[in-house]
Amino acid sequence: MFRDVTGQYISSIAGGENVRAFAPNPLPPLPPLDLNGARQALLERATLALGRLDSVGVLLPDPQLFLYAYVRREAVLSSQIEGTQSSLSDLLLFELDELPGTPFDDVVEVSNYVAALEHGMARLREGFPLCNRLLREIHARLMARGRGSDKAPGEFRRSQNWIGGTRPGNARFVPLPPPEVEPCMTALEHFIHGSTGNPDDNLPVLLKAALAHVQFETIHPFLDGNGRLGRLLIALLLHDGGALTQPLLYLSLYFKQHRAHYYTLLDRVRTTGDWEAWVDFFLEGVEQTAQGAVQTAQRLVTLFQQDTQRTQASGRAAANALRVLDGLRQRPLCSLRQLCHNTGMTFPTTTKAMLRLVDLGIVRELTGQRRNRVFVYDAYLNILNEGGEAL
């Protein structure tokens, strides 16, 4: 649906140039979102897929394990959109924190993303509301170390920014002037809490997340990290709104795969008020991504069963190898020292058990060194890595 006015242009100055900055109308859209039959059906399919993902998250033998892996996979993918070159193994190696060498900025950014998401989840579990203060706290973590640390971590911006183009005058889009950021974010907060006073803000959580994400990107409240925070906002909103017990749905891969279209749809909401095209794209992404996540979970369960059986059948002392395998399921990239710690077995026993897994072709040594060796559960990591290849 096209809506004539979806905001106002305010003249502002950026980089010494006069620009037209866009101030969006507060949510919900006016006239209300057109939930025709096809869109309603899409919403139902996406909701169903999300429900399946939620139950898989709960029914898995070890839901924490799945969450651990998924959060890191998401951190890598979401940070890749911003252009970092880190892989999942880089992140896991970095987290081992016993390898020499200074970490490079990319992996620090990915690691910040994990910390930011975990902080958000922990605060929500404490009962803290999903509010602007929490968004700023999460932003502070996201930008705590590495390249973002000079981009006002945890603060709304105080300068005029722009998106696309080489200078403000030829930008694709100029967001709100700085003084308007705070009030606009407060209005978004009211929308998220369903307290705008407008009966149309009482929307299903999936629609709410769809609308809030765009509004957040349009406001662009921070100097940097708006994309990553806006993607985190979706995960947190779905959790907070009761759609997902664990934060297991991430649209980063979908946005990455359809990046040009994703940006075009963001533009169209602003320029023609076409919220519906965006909502359709979003709901399709939710359905596809949730289905993909369920399949990934099923493939991991099958892999673990197969490898357990192969290890069991490997003869004497299989029990020790099984304990190491279990440790690798918790951390698919692991040092012997860490595994000793996790399994409670001695260093020689752990080493022997690990070499058995290497012989079975389940595990591979990564460093080629004699000391401080690191082992990787390849098939597990490969499943998680899918879609995460460089852009």
Give 114's DSSP letter: H
Q: What is the dihedral of CA 75, 84, 134, 290, to 10 degrees?
A: -30
Q: Is 90 in the site for Mg ion (CB under 5 A)?
A: no
Q: Which does 266 bind (CB under 5 to 8 A by kind): ligand ATP, Mg ion, none?
A: ligand ATP
Residues in 197-226 that interact with Mg ion by CB under 5 A = 224
Question: How far is it, in rounded angstroms, from Cα 278 to Cα 215?
Answer: 12
Which tokens belong to 284? Answer: 């399709």
Q: Would you call 304 exposed, middle or buried from its count of C-beta atoms within 10 A (0-12, 13-18, 19+)?
A: buried
CA 218 to chain centre: 19
* Contact criterion met (CB below 8 Å) for 265 and 277: yes
Q: How far is the CB of 230 from ligand ATP (least distance, A)?
A: 5
Q: Which does 172 bind (CB under 5 to 8 A by kind): Mg ion, ligand ATP, none?
A: ligand ATP
Q: Are strands 333-335 and 17-24 parallel, antiparallel or unpaired?
A: unpaired
Q: How far is the CB of 295 from ligand ATP (least distance, A)?
A: 26
* Contact criterion met (CB below 8 Å) for 76 and 110: yes
Question: How far is it, in rounded angstroms, from Cα 138 to Cα 113?
Answer: 9
Question: How far is it, in rounded angstroms, from Cα 225 to Cα 377?
Answer: 32
Closest residue to Mg ion: CB criterion = 224
> Smaller CB distance to ligand ATP: residue 31 or 164?
164
The residues that touch ligand ATP, with contacts defined as CB under 6 A, are 81-82, 163, 172-173, 217-218, 224-228, 230, 263, 266-267
> Smaller CB distance to Mg ion: residue 224 or 276?
224
> Smaller CB distance to ligand ATP: residue 266 or 381?
266
Count other Cβ atoms within 10 Å, centred on residue 320. Answer: 18
> Smaller CB distance to Mg ion: residue 74 or 224?
224
| 150: Cα within 13 Å, side-chain hemisphere | 1
8: left (phi over 0), alpha (psi -120 to 50) or beta: beta
Find the helix packing angle between 318-330 and 347-359, rounded to 10°: 90
Q: How far is the CB of 66 from ligand ATP (least distance, A)?
A: 24
Q: Which does 140 bind (CB under 5 to 8 A by kind): ligand ATP, Mg ion, none?
A: none
Q: How far is the CB of 163 from ligand ATP (least distance, A)?
A: 5
Q: How far is the CB of 217 from Mg ion (least distance, A)?
A: 12
> Smaller CB distance to ligand ATP: residue 70 or 216?
216
* Contact criterion met (CB below 8 Å) for 34 and 276: yes
Q: Which does 173 bind (CB under 5 to 8 A by kind): Mg ion, ligand ATP, none?
A: ligand ATP
Please count the residues of this chain forming the interface with Mg ion, following the rule CB under 5 A. Answer: 1
> Smaller CB distance to ligand ATP: residue 161 or 320?
161
Q: Are strands 363-365 and 333-335 parallel, antiparallel or unpaired?
A: unpaired
Q: How far is the CB of 222 from ligand ATP (least distance, A)?
A: 6
> Smaller CB distance to Mg ion: residue 224 or 287?
224
Q: How far is the CB of 51 from Mg ion (least distance, A)?
A: 34
- 3-state SS, residue 19: strand
Q: How far is the CB of 281 from ligand ATP (least distance, A)?
A: 13
> Smaller CB distance to ligand ATP: residue 133 or 172?
172
> Smaller CB distance to ligand ATP: residue 271 or 305?
271
Q: How far is the CB of 178 from ligand ATP (least distance, A)?
A: 15
15: left (phi over 0), alpha (psi -120 to 50) or beta: left
Q: Which does 228 bind (CB under 5 to 8 A by kind): Mg ion, ligand ATP, none?
A: ligand ATP
Binding site for Mg ion (CB under 5 A): 224
